[in-house]
Structure 1
């Protein structure tokens, strides 16, 4: 029968990841499927939900193929908050609209603020309306695609979609619901029906449970497709960043999780409800917990973009070049707002800037500037959290960006904060596996995933980075009007017919 183990699978922005973990926390096997999101227009980010299920099936089959483990529970998580609308049978009606990187709902945000009152939304929901809010995205579909919306009966996120496909149960976790502003009442921890019925009168909102609760059990049909045993429990699951925080034990009051991924995410656990117009006040992933959270729209997405522009060298090479560049990237400063920005500026029309560029700058300088831009954004978020009443005592880092020492070191140098790096930084899939294991055994994340490294800030760089941070804040404030005009031009141009690509080859000896 093999070793008793759990499966954890996460649907992320750029890939889906799965782990097979024994009940002592050891990773038996891992697997990944890379994918791309669709960007049909500037500011729109979508994905076909059938890809989520197919990648889950592929990952499960790969993890279980050797037959050396007996699966006793299944964990799921996924990017979010997303909006996948389906009919009553759960058949998707359109591609899912992704989280705050999709900024199409700006008009709906303005209208809902006017209808319900921005202050009242903040009071009842814990967060201001922003492009992160799933409720505003639902309102966009109602406005832009009314015929389709008339057929919509259910709403899913990646984790709840996987749970539905595995168990035939329609449920959502409390944390994900708390990011469905303005549909959720954060004090009562339930849907706020008076507003929900105005925004989506025909949607049947799912029953709410905690991420570690059992959503249901693997059906015979799902077992035949995935290779998972029929009848084993499947947890409700949650949004990937919160599963990442679980994976490294960053759930105590005062803890802050930094997630180094395609986007950067920050989750601070607070003793009582805190609210900030520049952050997201949410229900936590564990019963009784509260969070102040922030998220940058791009971080690893910028480094991946630069890598492609540079001809796809490997990341270790780029990190070596960035380290040679040194603090300050030889006079470069980047704004990381390449897909607008979420917290703390909440500006979907912001755009990226690379300032100070000369012909003498190198790939290493540009790559270093991108890493430093993330650190500067993290510092801005941390200062905003503490200004809102947060008290950060411990920072735990997780995600693919922790694999090389340089990026985490830069963030510690810029913020002046110590970061703890655990043994397993796989992230959300490992957190989902841990929650699944808790359904069959009393397990501890501190035993599963102890701290392995400590990243200390280097005081000799503090003055330089303080100056750079001041310039970072000035650069956005000073360039904001220009960036908004450029964003409007991009939107207008994207709606115009594009010229056909040149089909004739260039003349010999002429470089295109």
Structure 2
């Protein structure tokens, strides 16, 4: 038997999966690590803990492969976008991993917007103006931590750190480069204007390589740690969002991928770069002659975690399925209750790190189950606004593939189906990005396989609820827009008095 390892370096854990050539999972590991948020707007991780998780994950599934006499054909990678690490002249990290969730560069984003440079940059890079971007993070270091900025030999991300530790080379794939805000997705080179704004040279960034690029020169000691032969090829792969689309079979124009995990995203593959006139959607590289248009949200399943911890703190055994079951006791539209899910600021469709959450329409008749239902619907309605924008700019959308933890809930998927008014299919794969990485790895090595994306179940819209959610969506969007001018004020108040 032969198999491929897919590695997905995520925000809170690294998933490592061993797939055979029919797409069956032979072995898998999920190794977590802490996210440090010990001050406002900060979200960092330890790069070495992540590297250890990668090594352990590969080693453990490779051990299973040896026990079952399975030949490992290669190891292919996915990684979360927008991370940044400053490296010194001795190739040691000067910082932790600054993740996409770090919002400290909000003022730099405001400066770019006021200067008129933000839109011009977007039309080159496809990356919306937001604190998630390495571009604005670098600007923040230059202005706020000049002693670190001046020592930085390289500005890299977490996958690039892993590959440097494995192979001693500073390289970045087109997919992750296109999410930095520093890369021109049409010329496929670092963008001169972005470099000038960031205050860095091209030499301080990394060598650009295609997503299919392979490496096969592992040092013997590293190969031993990974429990692999030194000749096993490593494929650099792409970003987690792009490979999630590949992993659920959403790779044709018109087929949308929607995921809700801790955060969430709506994405569609296109055969040419697509830009939103208002800069509300991203456009990133997937692979050769393929791009990805869509929008990410900060606020997905993490809000259910907030509900469980803050509302049901006395019931420590409350599970997420039980929480969602409570929502089923309400009705579609939650008796006219709207929830804006901006508990952690928001990326798409607002791109406002100061956005704050709220309930609208509360009356004495509303119950706790209405509020939980409104939360599920609010998360979906936020994604629905992104879906509508993709449909207008890059559509038409013809079907939806769902992935992420929410896809295990029939109620939540049916809400999505009715809000989007689209057929929604859930695949059997629960490791979309790792699966996508494995598929990209096999195709990069030109290895024939029989991997088919098996569909678990298909949901169809319920016409009576489609109309109800259409009406609710219009109110939801109006309320969201009218509150936008107040987000900065309440954020300033919170920072002033909530020390």
Give the alignment's TM-score, normalised by structure 2: 0.91
What is the correspondence of 1:12-91 to structure 2 with a 5 Å cutoff?
12-66=10-64, 67-68=67-68, 69-91=70-92
Distance 1:18 1:366, change over 3 A: farther
Question: Counterparts of 2:286 and 2:157 in 1: how far apart (Å)?
Answer: 15
The list of structure 1 runs, each at least 4 consecutive aligned residues, that deviate by more than 6 angstroms after superposition, is: none
Distance 1:115 1:373, change over 3 A: closer
Q: Is 1:449 matched with 2:448?
A: no
Contact 2:281–2:349 (8 Å) recurs in 1: no
The alignment's C-alpha RMSD in Å is: 2.3
Question: Counterparts of 2:54 and 2:128 in 1: how far apart (Å)?
Answer: 33
Pick the aligned partner of 1:394 from 399, 411, 414: 399
Q: How far did 1:411 drift?
A: 0.7
3-state SS of 2:131 partner: coil
Instruction: Tell me the alpha carbon deviations over residues 257-279 of structure 1, each in whole angstroms, 9 at most, x when there is no partner.
Output: 11221111111223432211243
Q: How far did 1:443 drift?
A: 4.1
Q: How far did 1:172 drift?
A: 0.8
Pick the aligned partner of 1:414 from 396, 414, 419: 419
Question: Counterparts of 2:402 and 2:228 in 1: how far apart (Å)?
Answer: 32
Pick the aligned partner of 1:429 from 409, 417, 434: 434
Pick the aligned partner of 1:404 from 391, 403, 409: 409
Q: Is 1:487 matched with 2:487?
A: no
Q: Is 1:463 matched with 2:467?
A: yes
Contact 1:167–1:217 (8 Å) recurs in 2: yes
Q: How far did 1:387 drift?
A: 2.9
Question: Counterparts of 2:437 and 2:127 in 1: how far apart (Å)?
Answer: 26
Contact 1:279–1:292 (8 Å) recurs in 2: no
What is the correspondence of 1:232-311 to structure 2 with a 5 Å cutoff?
232-276=232-276, 277-309=278-310, 310=312, 311=316
Q: How far did 1:222 drift?
A: 2.0
Contact 1:328–1:468 (8 Å) recurs in 2: yes
Question: Counterparts of 1:17 and 1:128 in 2: how far apart (Å)?
Answer: 28
Give the alignment's TM-score, normalised by structure 1: 0.89
Question: Counterparts of 1:319 and 1:197 in 2: how far apart (Å)?
Answer: 49
What is the correspondence of 1:200-219 to structure 2 with a 5 Å cutoff?
200-201=199-200, 204-219=204-219
Q: How far did 1:116 drift?
A: 7.0
Question: Counterparts of 1:218 and 1:399 in 2: how far apart (Å)?
Answer: 33
* Higher alpha-carbon deviation: 419-428 or 111-120: 111-120
Question: Counterparts of 1:371 and 1:95 in 2: how far apart (Å)?
Answer: 34
What is the correspondence of 1:4-403 to structure 2 with a 5 Å cutoff?
4-66=2-64, 67-68=67-68, 69-99=70-100, 101-113=101-113, 117-181=117-181, 183-201=182-200, 204-276=204-276, 277-309=278-310, 310=312, 311-357=316-362, 363-403=368-408
3-state SS of 2:73 partner: strand
Instruction: Tell me the alpha carbon deviations over residues 448-507 of structure 1, each in whole angstroms, 9 at most, x when there is no partner.
Output: 32323212111111222122212211222333344322211222345x4xxxxxxxxxxx
Instruction: Tell me the alpha carbon deviations over residues 57-104 of structure 1, each in whole angstroms, 9 at most, x when there is no partner.
Output: 2222332334323322112212111112212443211112211x3222
